[in-house]
Structure 1
Amino acid sequence: MGSHNDDSLSYVNIGIWNKNIGTASDEHGVFKLALSQEHALDTLTFSAIGYKELSIAVQDINKSEELEIKLVEKVANLQEVAVTGRKMKIKKLGITGRLPVVWGNPDRREELNIYEFANLIEIKEKPTQLLSAHFYLTSSKMDSALFRINLYKERNGMPGERLAEQSIVQRLSTKEGWVRIDLKPFGVYTEEDFYLGIEYLPAADAERKSIMLGGKLGGSSYSRKASLCSWEKFVGASLSGYVTVLQ
């Protein structure tokens, strides 16, 4: 998988929308997805941050040859920045605590697939600059794992389109508890409520169930188990995840 300038694209989400069937390309842009005959009339979609989404009919894919997909970059639009006369303050928004007995556990369905959790962050229409994202991670078997931090607009009570077209991929420690991801270099400003997501990226040699994400009783969170599949809302527990903002 590559871009129009022949660079390979890592961690492209690939799947059939809302059917819990999907995968992701690896760090070299390579992917594998087995589809049964019942999906012959469906459409396979390729989605990457900063690139135009591409859809191909499953029946048009030649199964006897390797498939090479090229995506076209989106035209970058500059974000509007609100100017305010008041002095802005640093705040924490989201779930800043955790309980030792509450965990989110990525489910190993396929080796090359994603698992994502998200929290709703309420901005309440105030001009806001995102400074950093924070999550609680732990593992008894792995020192670190690869994650992508995603920011989604709120649409009909669920994560919708991306708030920012930047790929925030980092290898995060699973031995330190709370981890911090610097968001200042990405220059994200918003006045809308949004969803803060942490996406566990594919690694064929990793044990998915060895990663745990902290949580807290009460509230609600959102998750999905495959690329481009439907989000599910679960009530009664929240992901330990928050942002620091200038507001």
Structure 2
Amino acid sequence: MKFTFSYLSVLLFINFGFSQTKIIDSETAYPVSYATISFGDGQGLFADDDGMFIFTKKLYKDVDSIFISSLGYKDLALATVNLPKIIEMQIEHDKLDEVVVTAKIDRKFKEETIKPYLDDDYYKCWLPTIESEIAVFFPNGNEKLKKVTSVLFPFALESRDWDKRNRANADKRKFSTLFKVKFYKNNDGLPGEVMTYTNIVFRVTEKNGDEFELDVSEHDLFIPDNGFFVSLQVLGYTDDKGKLLPNKKYKEIKGRSGTVKIPTNFRPLLPFTNEIDSHNTYIKRVFISGNNWVQFKKGNGIESSLLKTDLYNYGVGLNYNEYRDE
């Protein structure tokens, strides 16, 4: 199956030419996958799984410097003039996961599920852009040991024919999108330190339906006493093999007061709900260094039609093992 996005990327290459840059680990020379490349003005893009990204002055005329970051590495700032083909990142050893030797947990457990909130109403959905990361808080209900086994992400699919959008068997608009997932410790009610430095990504298409189950059992994610956050961040569209495409991540619209950059919306949509009593959803802007998380609620300076209709939460679900006391 071929996607239109691949064709558009080829056109970009033909019209502008392209210069690929690779980000690598300075010690191992392995690629730094899915690194964040910020432009300092709230815009940016991501490297692919091979650490490659495309930057040209024709595509980004007003960008003089870039800011590169990735989990487990020291941040790096570079001028775009004579940008090297190979960029080395230094490992930040003091922030890497602690190596903890533990015995296998050989205790009985009960499988528990927090169901996701599904909705196919387009007007109740968040439109993902790569400039935003969205996080959902999960409290720890008791003192028992709990291990996260999978996360259940709800998605809303769009019908090809708008007039048939309410039919369950309507053909859906095709897409192939790559997402990154992070897990954060709870720091006084906000996402804090990451719980793992492993890159966790997954690709979703319309064939996955309205719910995607991401297996994270291999990452040994035990729920802290004060709860934790799971976040979702769209990296962009992919080709039919799951390779991240180097599409421009915002549209430029010329007006009387100058050119305005509008972030591109990616599919699938994220359904929001008003069936959760507390405000568990938080957002932040990815390409602004040091930007703070903001709780998704009225009065926090967020302009969103979802808040106007009291839709406060992205209803992510969870599967976990709750271990019995010894």
The structure 2 residue matched to 1:210, chosen from 242, 245, 267, is: 267
Write the distance in 2 (CA, Å) between the matches of 1:48 and 1:149. 13
Q: CA deviation at 1:164?
A: 1.3
**Bigger Cα displacement from structure 2, 225-234 vs 81-90:** 81-90
Q: CA deviation at 1:131?
A: 0.5
Is contact 2:185–2:224 with CA below 8 Å preserved after alignment? no
Larger proportion of strand? 1
Write the distance in 1 (CA, Å) between the matches of 2:83 and 2:108. 60
Change (3 A) 1:139 1:98: closer
Q: CA deviation at 1:62?
A: 6.0
Correspondence 1:240 to 2:301: no
Which amino acid in 2 is paired with 1:98?
A: L
The structure 2 residue matched to 1:98, chosen from 92, 110, 118, is: 118
Correspondence 1:223 to 2:240: no
Q: CA deviation at 1:134?
A: 0.6
Q: CA deviation at 1:232?
A: 2.6
Q: CA deviation at 1:202?
A: 3.0
The structure 1 residue matched to 2:45, chosen from 23, 26, 34, is: 23
Q: What secondary structure, in the 3-state scheme, does the structure 1 residue paired with 2:81 have? A: coil
Q: What secondary structure, in the 3-state scheme, does the structure 2 residue paired with 1:147 have? A: strand
Measured on the aligned residues, the alpha-carbon RMSD in Å equals: 3.3
Change (3 A) 1:114 1:9: farther
Write the distance in 1 (CA, Å) between the matches of 2:177 and 2:319. 23
**Structure 1: runs of 5+ lacking an equivalent:** 108-112
| Larger RCO, structure (CA 8 Å, separation 6 or more) | 1
Is contact 2:118–2:210 with CA below 8 Å preserved after alignment? no
Write the distance in 2 (CA, Å) between the matches of 1:170 and 1:85. 30
The structure 2 residue matched to 1:132, chosen from 121, 144, 150, is: 150
Q: Taking structure 2 as the reference length, what is the TM-score of the superposition?
A: 0.60
Change (3 A) 1:223 1:76: closer
**Bigger Cα displacement from structure 2, 201-210 vs 118-127:** 201-210
Change (3 A) 1:71 1:64: closer
Write the distance in 2 (CA, Å) between the matches of 1:65 and 1:138. 40
Q: CA deviation at 1:123?
A: 1.6
Which amino acid in 2 is paired with 1:151?
A: F
Is contact 1:26–1:202 with CA below 8 Å preserved after alignment? no
Change (3 A) 1:30 1:189: same
Larger proportion of helix? 2
Change (3 A) 1:232 1:68: farther
Corresponding residue for residue 133 of structure 2:
116
Is contact 1:114–1:201 with CA below 8 Å preserved after alignment? no
Change (3 A) 1:126 1:71: farther
Write the distance in 2 (CA, Å) between the matches of 1:65 and 1:99. 45
Corresponding residue for residue 37 of structure 2:
14
Question: Identity of counterpart residues, as a percentage?
Answer: 17
**1:19-98 pair list within 5 angstroms:** 20-31=42-53, 32=55, 45-49=67-71, 51-56=72-77, 61=79, 63-66=81-84, 68-73=86-91, 74=93, 76-79=97-100, 87-93=108-114, 96-98=116-118
Is contact 2:148–2:318 with CA below 8 Å preserved after alignment? yes
Corresponding residue for residue 235 of structure 2:
201
Change (3 A) 1:84 1:13: same
**Structure 2: runs of 5+ lacking an equivalent:** 1-22, 159-172, 238-245, 250-263, 298-309
Write the distance in 2 (CA, Å) between the matches of 1:136 and 1:81. 34
